Each structure stands twice: as C-alpha cells, then as structure tokens.
Structure 1
Amino acid sequence: MTGPAPLPAATARRWRTRRSAAVAGIVFAVLLIVALVAMRVALSAGDVRAVGTDPQRQALIRLSLNIVPFAGIAFLWFIGVVRDQLGAVEDRLFSTVFLGSGLLFLAMLFEGAVVATSLMEMAAGQGLDAGIWAFGRGTTQALITVYAMRMAAVFTLSVSTVALRTSAMPRWVAFVGVAVAVVLLVSAGERTWSQFVFPAWVLLVSVVILFTRPHGPGVAPADEAGATMRP
C-alpha cells in the first residue's frame, strides 16, 4: 500500500497563511490590550499636574505609545494574510469594506498616539496648561474610543460576514463577531470598556484560526485528508 498523498503545494501554502494570520492577530491583540491598560492606568488621575510630576505615570504613557506602532504593524500583517487567504473566493464589496475599515482604524489609532505623544512632550517641558491638556486628551479619546472603534466594528462585521460565506472559521465565532460589531457601534465612546472588546475578538479569532481547520469551498476534502494525515 502506498502512503498518504503528499500535501499539495497550494494547500500547504494555505496552512502557512492561516498560521501567519493567527500569530499576527495574537501579537496585535496582546500589544493593544497592554497599551490600552497602561494608558488608562497612567491617566486615571485626569490631572495634568499628576502626569507632569509623576515619573511612573510618564513611564506608563511612554510604554503605551511605544507599543502602538508594533501593534499597528501586526494588525496590518493580519489584514494582509487574511485577505490573501480568501483568494479566489474574495468578494469585492466586502473586501473593500474590510480593507478600508481596517486601514482607517489603524490611521485613527496612530493619530491618537501622535496627539498623546505631543502632549507628553509639552508636559515634560512644563509648557502645558490644563486647557491644552483637556483638549488633547479629549481629542485622543474621541479618535480612539469613538471613531477608531466604530471602524473596528465595521471591520469585525465584514470579517464575520465573509467567514459565514466561506466557512473559513466556525459559525459561532462569526456570530460572536456580529455581536461585537453591534456593541462597538452602539457603545463606542460611552463605555470605556468597549475599546477592549475589539482586540479581545481579534485574539479569539486568531486562536481559533491557529487551532482549527477550515471546511469551506477553498479546501477540497482530499486536501483536508492529506493535511490531517501529514505530520
């Protein structure tokens, strides 16, 4: 008897792409959660004097701001490998919404980090008054918790819709994504905890992608058998 058929090159590439997407998503989710927690702890006092005179708060803010670019790079990689995985079954409408919302989310996240960096530089030079601090903090919060998170909601909804159409992941994960999108659309800006929902969902999706195999039209049964039997 002959042994199991070798894994086709296209299928092997598909598994590598899924693993890349999963790793990138996990890195993004963990880094963004750490950055958000560090920023919230540092700004819990809400007073410019507390930030300007407390080295620990300043260190937390700098840590958060230094993490954001790496989280953005991981998210950009996550977008790229997920889109590449769709391949021939990619829907142009949802692909455009998926890509556009993801890039807008990143742009607003970076813009918020830039504003916060400018505030930190002014605070370090003792040239920041309470009015400018309040304006900059409000701008950063609006960019991230209102606009960026609503773009994240659109991104989540588009990914979940494509997942339902292609069976790229379990259906329950896609339905969780729809629920997350609704929460972000309704609660963004009003509930501060809502900004943690999006990276938590990306983490869930990434873990599921890493440990499950798709059963959609993009993977033939024979390919699945070969992938299962291959060490």
Structure 2
Amino acid sequence: MSPHPQEALSTPRAAGLAGILFGLLLGTAIVLVRLAVPEHPASAGAWLTDSSRRSAVQAALDLVPFAGISFLWFLAAVRDRMGEREDRFFATVFIGSGLVFVAVLLCAAAAAGGMLATAGGANQQLWGFGHSFAYTLLTEYSMRMAAVFAFCTSTIARRLRVLPRSLVWFGWLVGLALIGGAGNVSWLELAFPVWALVVGGYVLGAGSGRTASG
C-alpha cells in the first residue's frame, strides 16, 4: 500500500527545518566563542575578567545541545529520505560520522563548560590544558567528522539525484576544506553550519514546492 501524500512530504520538510535550525544554532555558538575567547591560552586574562565575554561563552554553550538535537533530527530525516535506495557502504559512514560528530561536539562543550566554571581560580597551566583540549575537540576532531558527513551526504545525494549538482560540489568542497584545514584556519569551522543551512533551505523549498503542486 502506498504512503499517504502528507506522510511522503513530511520527511523533506523536517530535514529542511532541522538543517536550517542546526546551521543557525551551531553557527551562532561558533561566532560567540570565536569573538569572546582568544585562540592562544596565554591570552586568557582578557576574557576571564570580562563578564560580558564570559556570558557570551555561556550562551554559546547553552546553544550546543540544541544544535546537537537538531543535527540528529537532520540526520534521521535525510536517511529516511534516502529510503531503500541508500548505498550500505556510504550510509554506514554517513551515520557513523554524524553520530561521532555530535558526540565530540557535546564533549567539547562539556569541556569548555567545566573550564568556564573553574577558570576563576585555575592556574595558568590548568587553563592552558582546558583551553587546548576544548579547542582541539571543536576545531579539529568534530570538524573532521563533519567533513566526512558532508562528503558522504553529497556523494549519496549525487547518486540518488536528490540535490542539484552545485550543492553536491559545495558539499564536497566543504568536506575537503575541513579535512585539510580544520584547526589550522581560523573560522573555517563555520563552513559546516553554512553548508547545513544551505542544504536545509533547499530541501525545505523543494518540499514546499511539492506541497503547492500537490
């Protein structure tokens, strides 16, 4: 028995909304952290004594769990959209990289939260360790998992022809850039939420178009 029209249209709209929400939440969190926290541990004093910067970091950390939830929704909705046509090899890497990305992202936020809570009385060495640990998790490990996710998603979308060629190439470019430059190029981690935002907007627009034509 074929699915009802409303059931068939719910998945792409859900995927689009989740992608947009994830892109906005994670992008905002990254911008807040980048503006408030210096890259080098030796420059810690400037923001540890500034209540507005500390509040900005706390706000960013509060957004991360909701970004993770939105990403899981995005992942599940995109996989459901693939249906039985998905390639098992790429689907396994797609799911695994997505789950590891969320796990590492939450670990980075937890490390940063613990560092923020104890920074007032911490010595310079302890601050340096916490700073490097949280930054490495966010800018290197989580972003490389994000790169694999973007690359696999774009490859699957190309095979199933569910995204235009321009977005497929955009996803591959984002994946390659994050694989090679994550942790080395400042602000490069914003490429992933921007990609999710663009893909989510396209999927949402496509779903709305199908609803109107139906």
TM (normalized to structure 1)? 0.86
Deviations 1:60-81 (A, max 9, x none): 0100000000000000100011
Residues 164-175 of structure 1 correspond to what in structure 2 (within 5 A)? 164-175=158-169
Aligned to 1:81: 77
Q: What is the rounded CA distance, in whole Å, between the counterparts of 1:186 and 1:101 in structure 2?
A: 17
Residues 128-207 of structure 1 correspond to what in structure 2 (within 5 A)? 128-207=122-201
Any gaps of 5 or more consecutive residues in structure 1? 1-7, 214-223
Q: What is the rounded CA distance, in whole Å, between the counterparts of 1:14 and 1:161 in structure 2?
A: 23
Q: CA shift at 1:193, angstroms?
A: 1.9
Q: CA shift at 1:229, angstroms?
A: 3.5
Q: What is the rounded CA distance, in whole Å, between the counterparts of 1:104 and 1:152 in structure 2?
A: 9
Any gaps of 5 or more consecutive residues in structure 2? none
Deviations 1:182-228 (A, max 9, x none): 11111111102210001100111111111126xxxxxxxxxx9x866
Aligned to 1:105: 101
Please tell me whether the aligned partners of residues 48 and 129 of structure 1 are also in contact (alpha carbons under 8 angstroms).
no
After superposition, the Cα gap between the structure-2 partners of 1:117 and 1:227, relative to the gap in structure 1 and judged at 3 Å, is closer
After superposition, the Cα gap between the structure-2 partners of 1:10 and 1:155, relative to the gap in structure 1 and judged at 3 Å, is farther
Aligned to 1:92: 88
Q: Which has the larger radius of gyration?
A: 1
Identity of aligned residues (%): 39
Two-structure CA RMSD over aligned residues (Å) = 1.8
Aligned to 1:72: 68
Matched residue pairs, number?
Answer: 210
Please tell me whether the aligned partners of residues 14 and 85 of structure 1 are also in contact (alpha carbons under 8 angstroms).
no
Q: Secondary structure at the match of 1:212?
A: helix
Q: What is the rounded CA distance, in whole Å, between the counterparts of 1:21 and 1:229 in structure 2?
A: 19
Residues 108-127 of structure 1 correspond to what in structure 2 (within 5 A)? 108-123=104-119, 126-127=120-121
Q: What is the rounded CA distance, in whole Å, between the counterparts of 2:112 and 2:211 in structure 1?
A: 47
For 1:39, give the aligned amino acid. Answer: V
Please tell me whether the aligned partners of residues 169 and 212 of structure 1 are also in contact (alpha carbons under 8 angstroms).
no
Aligned to 1:58: 54
